[in-house]
Structure 1
């Protein structure tokens, strides 16, 4: 089975529900634009509008068929997660998104949905994750910066979420957010080319050093974008760890415990990732429908120097086991 482990979906029915239920979300201002919606959360900077490709189910099926992909793991759209809004309202917002992702997957069984949770509040995020598992989700896709710009995933207030994920054996796919935390990347298209990498690298490095990856060993953490720059900077992470072992956790153990996608756009980088973490930790992904992703994700796997067994694992074997399909 060929499985794309990294994609995004905004079901059309979710957009209609947001329009009809806007009174239930006073901190969410929908912005009509070009027949779609953008959002302003708690008076913050408006998001981009939901692109047609995020919601066009017909075109999505055609793309999957053309690429011979049988199943696709879909999270929501990070711009929509709304970590800035008040916690109880955020829980209702996450439930609304999850309900429509679950319904989309029921109507189209090729989708494997990942829930969203209100990371602005650890206890409510735990509740949302438990509810999602009871509804058939295998885990959640979460953003790198809870509580808005500058938030950190090792925040002590998020321990209830990590504890719940550990007890449930959740898949937790960690994904960069639109605001990388560094305004220098907002020129030259660098928010996509570089900002996503630095954002993920910082978020993951904090989780590693804080000990979350090894402490919550039942959580199946997926580090998106090929683990960002983690494999390349492992030597420096290791050296930093050696200087302060009493306070930091082991980065080698953490990298060996996580999972990764193939969205690196260079066969040499993908082979290096496999050399560092093992090909048995890597899953083919597209980041569909975003242009910075990989529109032909089987190609890089085919052209990288994998064995046939490694290639079969990357293209779906690992995802098949991880998601219990």
Structure 2
């Protein structure tokens, strides 16, 4: 059995090894050349990167990056890991630490172009195993749109990874709307991935800015898209949210009640907030099989995609086995068929 990835009339033949097609939609690649571009103008750690973590967490993070650096910064070791884990295709997205929204627009564009070229090269080196997503300089929407178009038309990247906010601007901000309009027009996937919480003064210990902050950021991002009317304005947007969509899939009833009870909650949102959740895709990086079953029960198996967060320590260590308790029809969708549809992959027997 094989699959063809079909975007811009470019076909990629991939061999499926197991019973089900397995596509990991949440995998990261760091491009060191982009760090060099930014460091020349903005030396030192990015702003805010250590603001909401304590010395112990920073120590653990340094050790982690020493351990995974060879894998995060290139693709030479990935194929062995993919074969060991039973992954047919990795969807490679940028390391979230390389958003670089804080730089001036020209530096941000140069870094984004370097990252996107690096990811495109990684995919080209083994196109039967890798699919790519890019990044854009969201601090300048005109440049972001131009680079998104290049990703789609020239680099054959299947999506754009964006953060949950842009330098403090939430995703319903008017300045960002032309970007969403163009993403809808292009039919390109937007993969929303957080980078910690922006106001995490009480989350410095125990790595809370990741453990709690990342899902909370995703919850806010999705909520702003819903309540701010973005999903009403651009109903054709294709959006996948990392980490199971954050907390919102497990506590949407309170939002629905607020929408019914309060005019300030329904001012820009035309329908029940929970109804929009069924229009989004979530990855399955929730670590607990009962939570996965709950997602399938409340959200539906046709909008979930296997995601591991490879190669970080917060990755699901056995992503295929994690889905073992789903029934076969749900398993086939979640492990690969949904991502195939979302990314323009055609399964061929």
Question: Which TM-score bucket, shorter chain as reference?
Answer: 0.7 to 0.9
Distance of aligned partners of 1:18 and 1:182 in 2 relative to their CA distance in 1, 3 Å threshold: closer
Alignment of 1:5-84 (within 5 A): 5-10=25-30, 14-16=31-33, 18-19=35-36, 22=37, 26-29=40-43, 39-40=45-46, 44-45=47-48, 51-52=68-69, 53-84=71-102
How far does residue 255 in structure 1 lie from its aligned partner after superposition? 0.3
How far does residue 28 in structure 1 lie from its aligned partner after superposition? 3.2
Distance of aligned partners of 1:80 and 1:246 in 2 relative to their CA distance in 1, 3 Å threshold: closer
Equivalent residue of 1:85, what SS? coil
The corresponding residue for 1:145 is: 165
* 1:104 correspondence with 2:104: no
**Per-residue deviation, residues 231-278 of structure 1 (Å, max 9, x unmatched):** 111101111111223333431221010001110011111111112211
How far does residue 119 in structure 1 lie from its aligned partner after superposition? 1.1
How far does residue 56 in structure 1 lie from its aligned partner after superposition? 4.6
The corresponding residue for 1:34 is: none
How far does residue 307 in structure 1 lie from its aligned partner after superposition? 2.1
* 1:273 correspondence with 2:295: yes
Instruction: Name which of 173, 180, 185 aligns with 1:155.
Output: 173
Instruction: Name which of 231, 256, 264 aligns with 2:278.
Output: 256
**Per-residue deviation, residues 51-82 of structure 1 (Å, max 9, x unmatched):** 51312523221110001111011111111110
**Per-residue deviation, residues 16-51 of structure 1 (Å, max 9, x unmatched):** 4654xx4x875332x5xxxxxxx44xxx34677765
TM-score by length of 1: 0.88
- Partner Cα distance (2:174, 2:158) in 1: 24
8 Å contact from structure 2 (residues 191, 239) kept in 1:
yes
Instruction: Name which of 114, 125, 141 aligns with 2:144.
Output: 125
- Partner Cα distance (2:206, 2:247) in 1: 20
The corresponding residue for 1:308 is: 328
**Per-residue deviation, residues 179-199 of structure 1 (Å, max 9, x unmatched):** 543221121121221111111
Alignment of 1:217-236 (within 5 A): 217-236=235-254
Higher RCO, Cα 8 Å, sep 6+: 2
Instruction: Name which of 168, 184, 187 aligns with 1:166.
Output: 184
- CA-atom RMSD in angstroms: 1.9
8 Å contact from structure 2 (residues 184, 237) kept in 1:
yes
Alignment of 1:277-288 (within 5 A): 277-288=299-310
- Partner Cα distance (2:89, 2:251) in 1: 33
The corresponding residue for 1:35 is: none
Query: Once structures 1 and 2 are overlaid, which stretch shifts more, 52-61 or 151-160?
Result: 52-61
Distance of aligned partners of 1:200 and 1:79 in 2 relative to their CA distance in 1, 3 Å threshold: same
8 Å contact from structure 1 (residues 241, 249) kept in 2:
no
Long gaps (5+) in structure 1: 32-38
Aligned length: 304
- Partner Cα distance (2:34, 2:234) in 1: 36
Equivalent residue of 1:117, what SS? coil
8 Å contact from structure 2 (residues 23, 91) kept in 1:
yes
How far does residue 200 in structure 1 lie from its aligned partner after superposition? 0.9
TM-score by length of 2: 0.82
Long gaps (5+) in structure 2: 1-20, 51-60
8 Å contact from structure 1 (residues 213, 221) kept in 2:
no
- Partner Cα distance (1:201, 1:300) in 2: 23
